[in-house]
Amino acid sequence: MDRSSLLQLIQEQLDPENTGFIGADTFTGLVHSHELPLDPAKLDMLVALAQSNEQGQVCYQELVDLISSKRSSSFKRAIANGQRALPRDGPLDEPGLGVYKRFVRYVAYEILPCEVDRRWYFYRHRSCPPPVFMASVTLAQIIVFLCYGARLNKWVLQTYHPEYMKSPLVYHPGHRARAWRFLTYMFMHVGLEQLGFNALLQLMIGVPLEMVHGLLRISLLYLAGVLAGSLTVSITDMRAPVVGGSGGVYALCSAHLANVVMNWAGMRCPYKLLRMVLALVCMSSEVGRAVWLRFSPPLPASGPQPSFMAHLAGAVVGVSMGLTILRSYEERLRDQCGWWVVLLAYGTFLLFAVFWNVFAYDLLGAHIPPPP
């Protein structure tokens, strides 16, 4: 029986008067008597949802969403406030899982702070589509780095090579009119050390986030951090170029760390305090290294070295926009007032940055080193 036939049967037998509500007990009997192909986990969720109200009924639309593998915020609240919780045996207790399913279980406990969310994600997760965005970005960054490393015969501190800044991907203040550079700089890196740091975080944090929250949301967050990074540099460090994907990386990491802190009691990831401290130390060290290279270059350079402000801008995007996204698992962002506030703030910043780049350089008489 397909899904449409199942829903039609349910409505005809359990809600013939079109009241919009269905009794959970009668629905369970219908499932068993007709041997309907409904996932047992979904049936448990339905019963938990029905028992969250005094009448023991579930809204027909909630049932449709459940069978369609959708879930609204009202469903989440009903489960959280219901008299019956989901089955106690969590994903960690299930024996005989394959390698990939164990990885999905690991991701659920690493990313999601609520047991209901973790179980919902564990049961409904499918391997298709895979988390292609973060993997593709990381692969592209590695390929670009290898190409320039072989071409320049330099693998560390590539920005000191006179030919490096001639790349059409690097953001340089003298090439502000070439708008694509505000994004494409994320494919270039100072050297092997920066690429390794960014690639590691993108795979360790970005891929699990994309698996849970989806390609659209995580790509939006990553690219918003990248764009905010270059625009912030164009405002605060007007003579400096920018390279590296640190704006996007810090947006992802800051959002995840902030989400962990705000849901500290609910997070089940092991050694979370130690890992939090190590993450903050590593991120702070990378910012410190960028500040050192910007103001105390170890080698003679023909112009200013890349700015560190992209790191800080990415962190701000992560704490604001990113935290809003990560706290809205399986909920529509457009239904949340906080999301529109964040979008309005980000849009205002973009508009200000555009006007700054068009007019402020000439009005302030900023001395920009000639582009290569």
Question: Looking at 230, 246, 307, 320, which residue is catalytic?
Answer: 246
Cα–Cα separations (whole angstroms), residue 272 to 85, 278, 326: 26, 10, 18
How far is it between the farthest Cα atoms of the chain?
82
Strand partners, 242: 171
Task: Report yes or no: 244 and 197 within 8 Å, Cβ to Cβ.
Answer: no
Query: Distance between CA atoms of 280 and 44, rounded to whole angstroms?
Result: 40
Beta carbons of 41 and 68 less than 8 angstroms apart: no
Note if 32 is an active site residue: no
Is 136 in the active site? no
Distance CA 175, CA 107 (A): 41
Cβ-contact 138, 210 below 8 angstroms: no
Residue 286's identity, in one-letter code, is E
Are 295 and 237 in contact by the 8 Å Cβ rule? The answer is no
Instruction: Look at residues 232, 216, 225 and name the one whose alpha carbon lies nearest to residue 246.
Output: 225
Catalytic residue among 172, 213, 256, 311: 311
Spatial separation of the C-alpha atoms in residues 211 and 61, rounded to whole Å:
27
Give the active site residues. 246, 311
